[in-house]
Each structure stands twice: as structure tokens, then as C-alpha cells.
Structure 1
Amino acid sequence: MLRVIVADDEPVIRNGIVHLIESSGLDLKVAGTAEDGREAVELVQKLDPEIIIMDINMPQLNGLEAIGEIRKSSPDCRILIVSGYSDFAYAQQAIDLGVCKYLLKPLDIHGFVPILQQAMDSWTQLHRKSDPASVSEEDAFQDKGLAAFHYVRDHFTENTLNLTDAAQRFYLSPSYLSRIIKEKTSLSFTDYLNRLRIDLAESLMLENPGMTMNEVALQCGYSSQHYFSRAFKNYTGMTPIAFKNKPR
């Protein structure tokens, strides 16, 4: 059973999230709750949870400051942000801190449980504990392959991300990681990476119409606006400007 800490300064929201977790049917236990960022940091240091659900606007330390402290001692815990702020600057800081999901209040109750399951799966694949004597070499490679796949999914906004480095991080060959990605998505590594980035770009342009194309490109992991525009058109059949200006 994985342990969860819920941090939110609003009791109604904090208790509501706890109720959602406890009634989800997932193999999760709420190990503790916090009403400010400092208390959240102290709880994490004491309880070492696998998953943290964090608000941004809290006293003592805000959520992003608290996550920065938490990452020093718990670099692999899965963190979900639940916030009333839709400003992309907050979302980008969250991405930089390795947050799994940035969710806006009010929570979509039906969509929250699958997101919890994703966080559980991500942590379990990375930290699966098994008796080495009972694990075949193929099983070990599959575990590493899934961990590498999740790494690509969680770090696609880094413009230095590439197949070789991602594979070597988990002591895999690039061809093996490419095969895992193909099995999971029916896409090549490059196509999968572009799909993640273009999907994010579309969301950014819809939610933040004031962003320039260069800002969108950099936030999505592209090293230049030119490369972003070419990839976007190849993927969607239209330029980013045409997509942004399309009547809705």
C-alpha cells in the first residue's frame, strides 16, 4: 500500500481530497495531512510518502517552495499539484520540479482516480521491490524499460532529451527502449516525443493566447521556433499560427 500526504490550507478541500482517496478503492493510505507548506515538508521528512498532493497558495511556504525542499530528500516521490491558479508560470515551475500533474480546482472527481492510478503505476515501476533470485533477466529488462518509458513521458519538455541518453540512464540499449515505446504507443521515439510536445503546445496556445510562438516552443521542449513550427505542421497539418487563430 502506497502512502499519500495531502497538503492544502483549506479544510474543506483537504478533507474532500482525503475522502476521494479513501473511497477510490485504490491501494493507497492517507498517511497525513498538512495545512501549510512548512508542515508538509516536515511530514514528508518524517513519513517518506510515495505520493504527495499539494496546493500552491499556502502559508509558511507556498506549494512550489515546499516541493523544492521536498525534492532534496525525496527526489522520486510522485507529486500532484491541485491549484486554483491557471497561470502557466506556475505550471512551468511545477514541471521544472518534476511534478506529475498540475490539476485545477475544482477537481474533476471522475478524472482524479485515474490520475492517482497513473502516479501509483509510475512510482511502482520505478521502485519495484523483488527478490533478485526470482526475477528473470527478461523481467528485469522489462521493469527498466517501463521506468525508462515513464522517464520519457515525465521529462519530454527538456530540449536535451534524446533516445540514447534516456536508454543509457536505465542501462538499456536505444533499440530496446525504442521497442518498448513502440509497444506502448505504436509510435517511434521521435513521433511519441513530438506527440507529447504538440499536445502540450496546443493546450498552451488555447489557455494562454498571449504567449509568443517562441515561448510556446521553448516551454514544450523545442530548441527553436523554426523546428517547433515544422514539427507542429507535420503533426497537425497546419502551422501553429493557423491553429492559434482558428475560429472556435
Structure 2
Amino acid sequence: MNILLVDDEELELEQLEYLIHRMFPNWKFFKARDASQATQIVKQQDIFLAFLDIQLPGKSGLELATELTRSYSMDIIMVTAFQNFEYAKASIRLGVVDYITKPIIEEELATVLSRYDRMARYSEQIVNALNIIHKDYCEKLSLNYLASKIHINSAYLSRKFHEEVGMGFSEYLNEYRLKEAQKMLIDFPDLSISTISERCGFNSQHYFSQTFRKMTGQSPRDYRLKETFH
């Protein structure tokens, strides 16, 4: 998996790469010193997880995170030397997966990254399948299409996907689309429910609303109202 580290201090970048590499030796690292370099990397690589320092020269890490979450599908973890509640609150509002402070303690980093333990054990075929889902979730994806893209038999992919991910392809795709819809409902308040439904790959607004309510216990409209005025 491709991991992006963004910090204006070279030593911080090297330390973070060293600590993460010890836990996940198969991950591939890309490093940037500012938002501009980070954006160039993201355009060229399928980044799965990004660590962004909040205090960057020029565009801040929070501003960069805002841009990345709107244009790309990746997990983001914010890093800062300041234990500031407002920063934490802003990070949570952006939908980042976590927030850690410097100096980075290996045990705390391990706790934050524990959610990726299972992902690190995925075979290359499943990692490739997940990357396609994360990139093209808004399209009409099917198991047969996915299998053809990674050059394996669809029945074999179906079995392997369930074994490694712990759920079927369709269930995973639906969950991923719903999570993206949750972010879109907050980030784009002017977009209609119908438009968000379509952009997240759902065939109909009715089905989207039905599955959204099943996952969250709320309608998309109620979720947006609650989160907007939270």
C-alpha cells in the first residue's frame, strides 16, 4: 500500500517512516515537505493513507486535508506538536481517521495503526481489488469487472475477498459508498440527496436512502442536518 508522509522537517519524516516501516515493512512510502509536493504525489500515486503535519509552510495541513478528502479517497491522520483542542475538533470535522501529537510515541502510533493490521495481511490481489473499489466506487462496479481488471477468475476473487476482508464484495462496496456519501453530505451542503446518491454509485435515491438509514439509523437528510448543526 502507498503511504504519504507530509512534514516540513526532514528528521520528523525519517522518524515517522522508520517507526511505521517497523510495523508494516511491505508498505511503500512517499514523502513531501509541503502541500504542493504532497498534491503532486497524490496526482501520480494511489495513496491509501496519509500522515499530515498541521503546521506546514504555506498551506496548512488542515487545508491540505480538506482538499484531499474532497478529491480523493484515502485515510488521513493529522500530526501536530500542539495539543490544541480546536485542532483536534477541526480534524474530526474533516473526517480524518485519527489525530496524534509530537513527539510521536511508538506505542501510541501502534494503537492508531492497529486498524490496518488486517489490511497489511491482505494478498496483493485483494489490495489491488480494494484500490480499484476506492478509486472507482462511483462507477457501476461488478465482481466480474473487478476480476477482469486484476486478471483472475471471478469465483476465485469472490471467495478470496470474503476470506480476507471478512465480507462479500457487494457488502464492502455498499459500505464504502455509504461512508463516502456521509462525507459528501457534510462537505457539499448544496448538493441534493439525489446528486450525492448518483455520485456515490447508487442506482436510485430510494435504495440509497434505504441503505443509508439501515447503516446510520437516520435518513440522509436528517444525518446532514444533525451533523451540520452539531
Q: TM-score range by the shorter chain?
A: 0.5 to 0.7
Question: Is the aligned partner of 1:157 residue 2:137?
Answer: yes
Question: Is the aligned partner of 1:26 residue 2:6?
Answer: no
Hey, what does 2:56 align to over in structure 1?
none
**Aligned partners of 2:204 and 2:33: how far apart in 1?**
33
Q: Note the 1:89-168 alignment, pairs <5 A.
A: 89-95=67-73, 100-106=74-80, 107-108=99-100, 110=108, 114=113, 121=120, 125-126=123-124, 144=125, 146-155=126-135, 157-168=137-148
Instruction: State the TM-score, normalizing by the size of structure 2.
Output: 0.60
- Count of aligned residue pairs for this structure pair: 193
Secondary structure of 1:238's counterpart equals: coil
Question: Is the aligned partner of 1:241 residue 2:215?
Answer: no
2:176 to 180, 196, 210: 196
**Aligned partners of 2:72 and 2:199: how far apart in 1?**
12
Code of the residue aligned with 1:64 in structure 2: it is: T
Q: Percent identity?
A: 17
- CA 182–229 in structure 1, closer or farther in 2 if over 3 Å, else same: same
RMSD after superposition = 4.1
Hey, what does 2:38 align to over in structure 1?
63
Structure 2 unaligned residues grouped into runs of 5+? 53-60, 81-98
Question: Is the aligned partner of 1:230 residue 2:226?
Answer: no
Shift of 1:89: 4.3
- 2:4–2:51 CA contact under 8 A, matched in 1: no
Secondary structure of 2:164's counterpart equals: helix
- CA 220–77 in structure 1, closer or farther in 2 if over 3 Å, else same: closer
Structure 1 unaligned residues grouped into runs of 5+? 30-48, 127-143
Shift of 1:201: 2.4
**Aligned partners of 2:178 and 2:2: how far apart in 1?**
34
Shift of 1:160: 2.8
Code of the residue aligned with 1:101 in structure 2: it is: D
